[in-house]
Structure 1
């Protein structure tokens, strides 16, 4: 299929490479052109504008940062989207942001569904994401060859656009909790004079074991902070979770604590680094309280 990727950050670039290796014809665009240029070496067409990028698309994937960025690119590219093309919105923007985007898409005559991605750079580059879809099932099915190439599984959250975003917010709250929890336990182990690796050895093959815990702990202990999912991106998603929790009457005690920890890591200069950098918030004297 002819696929357009709008946004070639960490996830967009990884997905673009996966799709072209799967045999799709991929065109990419990024607001900062230099970030998209290297994709040409993989056989991906790099377009000079968002409108040019979608001109021949059958499926469009928006993988940018926040609601404003999705709206901007939708305004730029929406009028040029061909009839019959499906716009799969993959940016984490929460339910309210998704409703705003869906309304704008309807005004522009763009057929929009959700394709929320669970996973980071590694799974994206291997076609092993979990994809949460929502919207008209017929439109989702039209995009199925692209979604299947990106993922090891897909889950349809509901026929109403916004259902996938609701589920994604809950999933990312869990991700943030695990990340902070692993950092806390490693720091506690080390602070008591023990090798922090012993914490991982202790939970291995128990009911509390978690593959993600080992993955992030390895990055924390090796100080390998090359970003697969940045501190600032996760902090933004936790903020969306807090908004949803407050509006629905759900307690935000844990979310507030995780948000502050991520804020400390960001204030200490780790905002653009991998979420493993949250370990810094437990092991150094912070520059602020993260609020």
Structure 2
């Protein structure tokens, strides 16, 4: 098999792909890079990378092939143009569990090994404390290349099922965007009276920190399916109190459309006779 066992190829040099390639270079690894727009290879070539003239040439250069492109369709389009036999393909393109499983099956059929990954960082964080990446697929493949993965940040292996990295990634992003929704709504209300969001921010940050115990408490309830223990502010009470949020928003000239989905779920769950339970029981309405 051709290719250097300590080297790596990176396909895709957007902000994230460039950051991944840069981290490998910083760690002293030989890196081959490819991008549709060849100009994006220049900064990395200046740091010691080798620019390939085609994706096929790039894949031939290394056993370890890291893919970071726009989406699943882009990944498939590029990989179909190359020979993958004997390679290890690590897909760090954002996608879904189903896409990861289907891609894993196809890559394996081409004679290659496959891992999927979910990057929990923005490009400037790569290689810095706080960055971490989920990986899923064969454990032995993960173990073989862990040293390379550790250059990106913490390496979290989550299981043999190739879809599990994307599942963990999207679950964390769901929590993040849920928080963003609340923060944006809060600032819209504050600004509706001309008040400073900057001055309000410490109050909001402190309040969210105080409420962070909900993460662990809700996890216990979600796993057990028991929403009736240690109820303090029951769902029925919260459904009634929630009514003030859209009313106040309307009075202030602020849309409540960010909050509307949760409001409707609370009302439905209460109407179904679960008002005495904890708010976590709304999760039952999310199951299909």
TM-score of the two chains, using structure 2 as the length reference: 0.67
Counterparts in 2 of 1:1-291, with a 5 A limit? 1-77=6-82, 79=83, 81=84, 83=86, 85-124=87-126, 126=128, 128-151=130-153, 153-205=154-206, 208=209
**Which piece of structure 1 moves more, 181-190 or 137-146?**
181-190
Q: Max radius of gyration: which structure?
A: 2
Give 1:134 shift.
0.7
The question of whether the paired residues in 1 share the 8 Å contact of 2:181 and 2:258 is answered with no
The question of whether the paired residues in 2 share the 8 Å contact of 1:29 and 1:46 is answered with yes
Give 1:90 shift.
0.7
Distance (Å, rounded) in 2 between the aligned partners of 1:98 and 1:107: 14
Give 1:255 shift.
10
SS at match of 1:164: helix
The question of whether the paired residues in 2 share the 8 Å contact of 1:57 and 1:82 is answered with no
Distance (Å, rounded) in 1 between the aligned partners of 2:50 and 2:260: 42
Distance (Å, rounded) in 2 between the aligned partners of 1:95 and 1:196: 38
**Which piece of structure 1 moves more, 130-139 or 29-38?**
29-38
Describe the shift of the 1:53–1:47 C-alpha distance in structure 2 as closer, same or farther (beyond 3 A).
same
Describe the shift of the 1:142–1:97 C-alpha distance in structure 2 as closer, same or farther (beyond 3 A).
same
Distance (Å, rounded) in 2 between the aligned partners of 1:170 and 1:254: 19
TM-score of the two chains, using structure 1 as the length reference: 0.66
Q: Deviations over 1:146-178 (max 9, x none)?
A: 111111x22221112111111112122223223
Distance (Å, rounded) in 2 between the aligned partners of 1:58 and 1:112: 12
Give 1:257 shift.
6.8
SS at match of 2:132: strand
Give 1:189 shift.
1.7
Describe the shift of the 1:254–1:111 C-alpha distance in structure 2 as closer, same or farther (beyond 3 A).
farther
Aligned length: 212
The question of whether the paired residues in 2 share the 8 Å contact of 1:15 and 1:127 is answered with no
Describe the shift of the 1:255–1:105 C-alpha distance in structure 2 as closer, same or farther (beyond 3 A).
farther
Query: Greater share of helix residues, 1 or 2?
Result: 1
Gaps spanning 5+ residues in structure 2: where?
A: 1-5, 212-256, 263-288
The question of whether the paired residues in 1 share the 8 Å contact of 2:23 and 2:152 is answered with yes
C-alpha RMSD of the superposition: 2.6
Q: Deviations over 1:114-167 (max 9, x none)?
A: 22211111212537521111111000011101111111x222211121111111
Distance (Å, rounded) in 1 between the aligned partners of 2:259 and 2:190: 23
Give 1:207 shift.
5.1
Distance (Å, rounded) in 2 between the aligned partners of 1:199 and 1:142: 49
Gaps spanning 5+ residues in structure 1: where?
A: 211-252, 259-291
Describe the shift of the 1:133–1:35 C-alpha distance in structure 2 as closer, same or farther (beyond 3 A).
same
